[in-house]
A and B are shown apart, each in its own frame.
Chain A
């Protein structure tokens, strides 16, 4: 085995293509620059860091658009460690969008609470680069690397209000459970690496496309099952599926609201990106059930169906009894992970490349719609919570509907979109996901998802009821809405309607071409 390893290294030629990781490079560089500017700037010039972060994110977005439309080069580099397909680009776009909106939301917050803006923005940029790596990695090692870059930055961001006990608790919980899940993932990766060694003498592999090729000639198939299960648990933690969801409400409640907005939309989407890639492409569908590949495919798919059902149900039922808006949104984010899993199941269950491609793009589209409406909702919640995140209970929203109608109606729109009412982005997302699942033949799963949607009506409406139908007994002054948040609200409101009414272009862009073929070596 040592000999073959040596031979492999002998054959290595530097497969370097920096252009293929251009967006990631831009974001990383921007992060370092922001850090340096923060170190040298005077306290009064700190607003610069936010601006620089935005510039970097927009430049990365431009780069990824260029890769989307005008890329003619190879679709993979670094020996398959980085791949380029619509799945990656879609999730890269989501990561950049989420990050840019978070910068805008947090600008005022950082100033108002007198927090170190530069640190926050550079951490955010590093987290973003981690998310992008998770989307672009074609190799388990890169995915793990991205995950860690993302996670460590997010742990710090969750505890960013150092003097607030809840923020500390949130950070510590997130850190401990996050490292726990990372360990699961890493162990799973190690087991898969060991299991994919072949009888012909090849060492194991962490390349996803290669794993798929080796499944049937694997030396230790049982380890493969164990490794896949470990990775399932690890990713399950990251995207907050039940029963690995217990950290979510506490962490989301305690973290500063802009950070919660980021955590609910960004890392979840990035988790889905690599979760999808590892399982749909690494342990793919085959027609013959009798093979190892067939068994492992059936095993993870079955587990995922159960996870989807539990996740949706626990998320929705848990959200009903919450009295804190942030906790409610945390449970709602669990539920939304469940809906997205429905599309994931569809992507895994079908062998038809067109259906698979549709299902993959449906999950990406769903995460995009969720990111837009979620960030919008949290932007409003940030404003209403005021400094110190004190006012986040349902009671604090009593009767504010007609005292600041702009904010209240916008928040209602996001709630209705999260609920999945027609004309909004949430509806389109659900339609896409459900259609994919029905195409794959999962009728009962869709019916359960639909019933869950009906349950969710209760708690989304509750916020609207509290805002509009109740009278306020205590005094309330409308918060000043700063310009940057107005920009966020305009972007998200237009996004909700655009994705809900004219999703054509986005859906086309997210569709994998050629259908659902990951760049293979």
Chain B
């Protein structure tokens, strides 16, 4: 059971998809059945994923629930799954956000339900697969497999410019990931295996790429770029972000939630899991440049978000800004920064997911997202407005809400980092991003939620129904919980983050999931 838990987790949504298709042949089928079946299977998946927490006593310092069987003998590809502190919370975030986004599509998706829910379930399965695979080929497989359902979700159920957005999304991500594929095969040529843990073990024992190429770092550099390029596009790091506003804006609500909540995390997760541990020396060399890009992204995203006339586009650009924080923290190579980075991934999933849900709800009522169309919604829709304000504040990073913890840790880590000189300048600049996020979100709130009721149409809007409140409540609880009591989250990821950090800073010794913690840099943030 322990061994198969992750496989079960991946296959449950697939089973749900098959059930949907099977049901479509049933004589008594109704369109409304599909969403119930899908909801059922995604809730089951969430329940199964909670079983992962039973390994909490290990602190996830090594891979848990490992399954490792041979897949293709001829190229010694293995079916190797496992979950550790880096991936645990991302898996849980995935399984949580999928049922929520399915609930959010309850009435907004009114055509081709069968295909919509089938694609959602395939997507869930692929996303879980990305986070738990420890074999590079399997990882790539899931990474690409998540692309197709998203492409369909945007293209079929999206907004007016959906075709443009879908194609842009697909081509951008596919170009990046194909380069990663080339990188993966080059790694295979050197180590004759796709297994991440085996490659890492070989590297730790001195057989690094640069050692195998006789001290030449060129190939290692290109490999780093091949992997990083795929992940930068996915994150998206400035200047690879241009697909994101289109895709987020045009996607249906559920698609935007999944896209922002989970798909972007695949990029940052990949950077942390693969780039930092497989190419530590290049990561150290590249860190300053990446930090610069991240800071540009933070400020640029915030500035552009400020002038957006469309609420959804505003939230999309805020994603660029927030994901910049994640990358910034990661490449500070301090425990605070990296822990904060991982934490911020979850925060962003929860807060931005909630924002997209809320935008979707108002869009369903008014069929517009133009900020100028709204104003004074707090009078006609008080419950809605409350949720909107809380989610926005969480995204801004108000203390006692989740965003604060993540951004605070990241800024602390950036301040302390030794990887760049004048780290305080970087921190100050990143701090500007926080301030700007307050500016654009609060300004947006002022124009949308507060003020007088200018538009006649806004006066008669109905407030949220129980389904909508119900699907927002879990996210709200998480925002508060993660804001006041982050310890359980950080505790379970600390060991893994620490191994990555020691790997990237001390190339030869670090990086094993069996070695004890090495020389932590100061006390950890939660003691």
Residues of A whose CB lies within 8 Å of any CB of B are 358, 401-402, 405, 416, 421-423, 427-428, 431-432, 434-435, 438-439, 443, 446-447, 450-451, 453-454, 457-458, 461, 464-465, 468-470, 502-504, 507-508, 511
Least CB distance from A449 to B in Å reads 9
B189 within 8 A of A: yes
Q: Are A435 and B145 within 8 A (Cβ)?
A: no
Sample of 16 more A-B contacts, CB < 8 Å, known A401-B156, A457-B174, A511-B74: A427-B144, A431-B181, A434-B182, A435-B189, A438-B185, A439-B189, A450-B179, A450-B182, A451-B175, A451-B178, A458-B167, A461-B171, A469-B162, A470-B163, A502-B72, A508-B74
Contacts A422-B141, A454-B178 hold; do A469 and B163 have CB atoms under 8 A apart? yes
9 A-B contact pairs sorted by A residue (CB < 8 Å): A435-B188, A443-B186, A453-B178, A457-B170, A461-B167, A469-B155, A502-B72, A503-B74, A508-B73
Least CB distance from B116 to A in Å reads 11
Per-residue 0/1 for B133-156: is the Cβ within 8 Å of any A Cβ (1 yes, 0 no)? 000010011111101100110011
Per-residue 0/1 for B105-145: is the Cβ within 8 Å of any A Cβ (1 yes, 0 no)? 00000001001000000000000000000000100111111
**Which residues from A are CB-within-8-Å of B73?**
504, 507-508
**Which residues from B are CB-within-8-Å of A438?**
185-186, 188-189
Q: Are B181 and A421 within 8 A (Cβ)?
A: no
Q: Are B163 and A435 within 8 A (Cβ)?
A: no
Q: Are A431 and B75 within 8 A (Cβ)?
A: yes
CA distance A465 to B140 in the complex (A): 24
Interface SS majority for chain B? helix
**Which residues from B are CB-within-8-Å of A451?**
175, 178
Smallest Cβ-Cβ distance to A441: which chain B residue: B189
Q: Are A421 and B162 within 8 A (Cβ)?
A: no
B166 within 8 A of A: yes
CA distance A468 to B175 in the complex (A): 23
Q: Are B155 and A465 within 8 A (Cβ)?
A: yes
Smallest Cβ-Cβ distance to A420: which chain B residue: B178
Selected contact of B156 from candidates A431, A458, A468, CB within 8 Å: A468
Smallest Cβ-Cβ distance to A462: which chain B residue: B167
Q: Are A465 and B166 within 8 A (Cβ)?
A: yes
Smallest Cβ-Cβ distance to B70: which chain A residue: A504
**Which residues from A are CB-within-8-Å of B189?**
435, 438-439
Smallest Cβ-Cβ distance to B156: which chain A residue: A468
**Which residues from A are CB-within-8-Å of B156?**
401, 468-469
**Which residues from A are CB-within-8-Å of B186?**
438, 443
Q: How many residues of B contact A (CB 8 A)?
A: 35
CA distance A508 to B145 in the complex (A): 26
Least CB distance from A29 to B in Å reads 36
Q: Are A457 and B171 within 8 A (Cβ)?
A: yes
List 7 tightest A-B contacts by C-beta distance, closest first. A422-B141, A507-B74, A469-B155, A454-B175, A438-B189, A422-B144, A450-B182
Q: Are B145 and A503 within 8 A (Cβ)?
A: no
CA distance A458 to B166 in the complex (A): 11
Q: Are B171 and A458 within 8 A (Cβ)?
A: yes
Interface SS majority for chain A? helix
Per-residue 0/1 for B62-74: is the Cβ within 8 Å of any A Cβ (1 yes, 0 no)? 0000000000111
Selected contact of A454 from candidates B112, B155, B166, B171, CB within 8 Å: B171
Contacts A446-B185, A450-B179, A454-B174 hold; do A504 and B74 have CB atoms under 8 A apart? yes
Q: Are B74 and A446 within 8 A (Cβ)?
A: no
Q: Are A421 and B148 within 8 A (Cβ)?
A: yes
**Which residues from A are CB-within-8-Å of B170?**
457, 461
**Which residues from B are CB-within-8-Å of A454?**
171, 174-175, 178
Q: Are A422 and B140 within 8 A (Cβ)?
A: yes
Residues of B whose CB lies within 8 Å of any CB of A are 72-75, 112, 115, 137, 140-145, 147-148, 151-152, 155-156, 162-163, 166-167, 170-171, 174-175, 178-179, 181-182, 185-186, 188-189
**Which residues from A are CB-within-8-Å of B147?**
421
CA distance A511 to B75 in the complex (A): 12
Q: Are B75 and A435 within 8 A (Cβ)?
A: yes
Least CB distance from B255 to A in Å reads 14
Smallest Cβ-Cβ distance to B188: which chain A residue: A435
CA distance A52 to B178 in the complex (A): 45
Smallest Cβ-Cβ distance to B192: which chain A residue: A439
**Which residues from B are CB-within-8-Å of A464?**
155
CA distance A439 to B190 in the complex (A): 9
**Which residues from B are CB-within-8-Å of A421?**
144-145, 147-148
Q: Are A434 and B144 within 8 A (Cβ)?
A: no
Least CB distance from A334 to B in Å reads 20
**Which residues from B are CB-within-8-Å of A465?**
155, 163, 166-167
**Which residues from A are CB-within-8-Å of B151?**
461
Least CB distance from B212 to A in Å reads 13
Smallest Cβ-Cβ distance to A402: which chain B residue: B112
CA distance A214 to B185 in the complex (A): 38
**Which residues from B are CB-within-8-Å of A428?**
72
Contacts A422-B140, A434-B185, A508-B73 hold; do A450 and B166 have CB atoms under 8 A apart? no
Smallest Cβ-Cβ distance to B162: which chain A residue: A469
**Which residues from B are CB-within-8-Å of A503?**
72, 74
**Which residues from A are CB-within-8-Å of B137?**
431
Q: Are A423 and B74 within 8 A (Cβ)?
A: no
Q: Are A435 and B171 within 8 A (Cβ)?
A: no
**Which residues from A are CB-within-8-Å of B181?**
431, 434, 450
CA distance A451 to B152 in the complex (A): 23
CA distance A126 to B182 in the complex (A): 41
**Which residues from B are CB-within-8-Å of A453?**
178
**Which residues from B are CB-within-8-Å of A511?**
74
**Which residues from A are CB-within-8-Å of B144?**
421-422, 427
CA distance A503 to B188 in the complex (A): 18
**Which residues from B are CB-within-8-Å of A470?**
163
**Which residues from A are CB-within-8-Å of B74?**
358, 432, 503-504, 507-508, 511
Q: Are A468 and B152 within 8 A (Cβ)?
A: yes
CA distance A401 to B115 in the complex (A): 11
Tell me which of B144, B156, B182 has the highest count of chain A C-beta atoms within 10 A of its own C-beta: B182
Q: Are A423 and B145 within 8 A (Cβ)?
A: yes
**Which residues from B are CB-within-8-Å of A468?**
152, 155-156
Least CB distance from B242 to A in Å reads 16
Contacts A402-B112, A469-B163 hold; do A432 and B178 have CB atoms under 8 A apart? no
**Which residues from A are CB-within-8-Å of B163?**
465, 469-470
Least CB distance from A515 to B in Å reads 13
Smallest Cβ-Cβ distance to A470: which chain B residue: B163
**Which residues from A are CB-within-8-Å of B148?**
416, 421
**Which residues from B are CB-within-8-Å of A427?**
141, 144
CA distance A468 to B141 in the complex (A): 24
CA distance A468 to B178 in the complex (A): 25
**Which residues from A are CB-within-8-Å of B185?**
431, 434-435, 438, 446
**Which residues from B are CB-within-8-Å of A443?**
186
Least CB distance from B270 to A in Å reads 15
**Which residues from B are CB-within-8-Å of A435?**
75, 185, 188-189
Smallest Cβ-Cβ distance to A416: which chain B residue: B148
**Which residues from A are CB-within-8-Å of B188?**
435, 438
CA distance A358 to B72 in the complex (A): 14
Smallest Cβ-Cβ distance to B142: which chain A residue: A422
CA distance A439 to B171 in the complex (A): 28
CA distance A388 to B142 in the complex (A): 41
Tell me which of A428, A438, A450, A502 has the highest count of chain B C-beta atoms within 10 A of its own C-beta: A450
Smallest Cβ-Cβ distance to B182: which chain A residue: A450
Least CB distance from A308 to B in Å reads 16
Least CB distance from B484 to A in Å reads 42
Q: Are A446 and B182 within 8 A (Cβ)?
A: yes
**Which residues from A are CB-within-8-Å of B75?**
431-432, 435
Least CB distance from A352 to B in Å reads 13
Tell me which of A416, A422, A446, A468 has the highest count of chain B C-beta atoms within 10 A of its own C-beta: A422
Least CB distance from B223 to A in Å reads 11
**Which residues from B are CB-within-8-Å of A504?**
72-74
**Which residues from B are CB-within-8-Å of A422?**
140-145
**Which residues from A are CB-within-8-Å of B174?**
454, 457
Smallest Cβ-Cβ distance to B75: which chain A residue: A435
Least CB distance from A101 to B in Å reads 25
